[in-house]
Structure 1
Amino acid sequence: MEILKPIEPMLAVYAAGDDVYRDVIALHSGVTCAELKYDGYRIQLHKKGSIVKAFTRSLNEAPLGIYPELSASIQSLPDCVLDCELNGGIGHSGFRVVKNRFRSKEQGMEAYRKKADLSRKLEIRVFDAINFAGAWLLDMPLTERRRYTERINEKRIKPGRQWRISSAEGLEALFNRLVGGKNEGLVCKNPSSLYIPGDESGEWLKIKKFEPIDVVVLGVYMSNGVISQLLCGTYNPARKCFETLTKVNAKRKGMNRQLEELLKGKYVAEKPSSVVLSPCAGDEDLPQFYIEPNSSVVVEVKAMNIHYGKNRYSCGLDSGKSYSLRIAWLNEIREDKAAVQASTVNDVEYLYKAQEGLI
């Protein structure tokens, strides 16, 4: 293991369910270190002498030259390897600032600087120290590594916020307060957890705010003869059609078995005329079978947030842009609703504008 060579990051897994707060406290033996989840880009920062490198979660090198405001703070650090987040502000608007900068990396630097909006300054929030002043810390518990993290106090590089929580009620109250302030959620970590590269055993757990949306099952993807995924969409009352919005895993809590009973005999090979697909959808995006929407099932899905841009879905498609869901999952089956009572494209547009602070 060497500084300037990327290390597989330790991973947090999603925690969900009615008893999620109680479950997290129990899994972490009565106390969890709850950290604010910043909505940005995770990077692994390496510094050795004057040489600095940063790597993405997929271990690709990130071009630090497109973040000139970070340079002085980075050079003030000792030799180190830090697990951190590029942060552009609170909530999804902050994520958008980072994304817009990051996606310019393929431009030449001079062209980038002329075009890029550098008025929104980025920061680095450090949530773990893997190496500090040349010493490797992976075999130390989180609480010990945190002492090194908290020694970092540069103008644009600071520790991420952390709270020690010992009750389900306290964890729930903290989560609600943070997401009420437009933050993304929490990462809850076992105080005794070691830093294990690539580990996703549940020592770290993510709790996020997910928006509920009622969608119609428009198609199914099969695996070994059973439903594995669903193509879901919204209703467009003006056009009297159904537009695709997301694809979700159907197997959560065994709901695919219930869906198979509800959809038995309703599969069709040809796309119904009332279902609108995006011209960007490739063959790999199409379901094995479609379902006539007015004979189908409404399900509630939850998503971390809504994206608007070029994608393979057709919800609200206009000038090549449409809505889609970021990190969506199946929550429940809504047998009480008909297809035309599902969320509409107007509902999705409203949620997106509220998310972006436009209304």
Structure 2
Amino acid sequence: MEMWEPMLSKLMEGDLNLSGVWISEPKLDGERIIAMREGDNITLWTRRHVESSYKFPEIIMDLEKNVKGNNWILDGELTVPGGFRKLLRRNTEDKLKISLLSRKIPATLNLFDILRFQGEDLTGKPLVQRKKVLLDAANQGEHIRIIPFKIVTTESVKEDFEKALKEGYEGLILKDASSKYEAGKRSGNWLKLKRSETIDVNVIGATKSTGSIAFGALILEKDGQYFGKVGTGFSDNRRGEILNLLEKNKAAIDVDLPDDVDVLLTTRPLPAEIKANEIVKGKPRAPVWVRFRWA
């Protein structure tokens, strides 16, 4: 089965000045998913090409029931009540636990784009046209939701952003209504407005400590590449809590680490935020820990 790389958004920098027609969508606290159907086979794929359909039977059932056709590719964000931290609890291989968790922590696939419908490639069409196809092809269901969107102007974005934060969202995603779908690209046609000037990263492990503290630093990844380490911004007690979380999410990684990184353990990617004075040669200078993205 062919793999699809999702289109990514850029963090909005400088003064916002929108020209043309733009739409806004709320920024959700979940995991990006590409959903695909070929005939009777429906699959869910993460950004790292991990097939996770069997972990979310409620999503598969709703897609089969609420999306027309038998050949399509959808883009969306997978969420559960309580945010990404609760979503991590759905990461199990145990069939009995999967069945129980699908009822105890039910997931929702929040759809916002469609890349193919009935075999037709839609990535070259403007976003507004893809949105229309999506609305025609998919119905809302118990575990399927179409992410709301609206036309915005430079003047209305601030009010929409503040409203989104009050409603519990992480911010806004702004998209050029005429833009094509640029698979695998972090494009300026999609802009991300967040609650603070932070950098999105993934924690993929921790380094050994030279003293009595739980670990030395957190190992970071961004866009599939090693992104340095962060060792400041948390107390010793907080380090212990973080290490417990990391141990529960141990996993092998496919990111090349420098030889001087003294690895304590590696984990599945855990979304987080850091602050840094600047980016130098692709790495943050003087990074400071902010939070895991669900915190």
TM-score of the pair, normalised by structure 1: 0.57
The corresponding residue for 1:279 is: 215
- Higher relative contact order, chain-length normalized (CA < 8 Å, sep 6+): 2
Q: Please state whether the residue corresponding to 1:316 is helix, strand or coil.
A: helix
Which residue, 190, 196, 209 being the options, matches 2:176? 190
1:143 is aligned to 128
User: Counterpart amino acid of 1:80?
Assistant: W
Deviation at 1:196, TM superposition (A): 1.7
Greater CA radius of gyration, 1 or 2? Answer: 1
Q: Is the 8 A contact 2:214 2:240 kept in 1?
A: no
Mapped to 2, the partners of 1:84 and 1:11 lie a distance apart of 12
TM-superposed deviation, 1:96? 2.1
CA distance in 2, matches of 1:322, 1:73: 31
Q: Are 1:46 and 1:54, in contact at CA under 8 Å, matched by a contact in 2? A: yes
Q: Secondary structure at the match of 2:238?
A: coil
Distance 1:82 1:42, change over 3 A: same
RMSD: 3.8
2:84 aligned residue (76, 95, 100): 95
CA offsets, 1:179-203, max 9 Å, x none?
A: 1121111111111111121122311
CA distance in 1, matches of 2:274, 2:37: 36
* 1:118 Cα deviation after fit: 2.8
Of residues 157, 160, 165, the one that matches 1:171 is 157
Maintained 8 Å contact 1:88/1:121: yes
SS in 2 for 1:206: strand
Post-superposition offset of 1:150:
1.4
- Aligned partner of 2:72 in structure 1 is 80
Does the CA-based 8 Å contact 2:115-2:122 persist in structure 1? yes
Distance 1:112 1:124, change over 3 A: closer
Q: Which residue of 1 aligns with 2:7?
A: 10
Amino-acid identity (%): 25
**Number of residue pairs the alignment of both structures matches:** 239
Q: Which amino acid aligns with 1:326?
A: A
Letter in 1 for 2:119: G
Q: In structure 2, what residue type is equivalent to 1:34?
A: S
Offset at residue 113 of structure 1 (A): 3.4
TM-aligned CA deviation for residue 86 of structure 1 = 0.7
Structure 1 residues 201-350: aligned runs within 5 Å = 201-210=187-196, 277-279=213-215, 281=217, 314=236, 316-318=238-240, 320-321=243-244, 326-330=272-276
What is the CA–CA distance in structure 1 between the aligned matches of 2:29 and 2:59, rounded to whole Å?
18
1:121 aligns with 2:106: yes
- 5+ residue gaps, structure 1, are 213-245, 247-270, 291-298, 307-312, 333-342
Q: Is the 8 A contact 1:6 1:44 kept in 2?
A: no
TM-score (norm 2): 0.68
Paired letter, 1:5: E
The answer for the alignment partner of 2:257 in structure 1 is: none
Aligned equivalents of 1:283, 1:328: Cα separation in 2? 12
The CA distance in 2 between the partners of 1:85 and 1:72, in whole Å, is 17
The Cα of 1:14 is off from its aligned counterpart by 0.9
Shift of 1:281: 4.5
Match of 1:54 in 2: 44
Offset of residue 33 of structure 1: 1.1
Alpha-carbon separation, structure 2, partners of 1:283 and 1:43: 24
Does the residue aligned with 1:33 lie in a helix, a strand or coil? strand
**2:20 touches 2:176 (CA, 8 Å); kept in 1?**
no
| Equivalent position amino acid for 2:158 in 1 | E
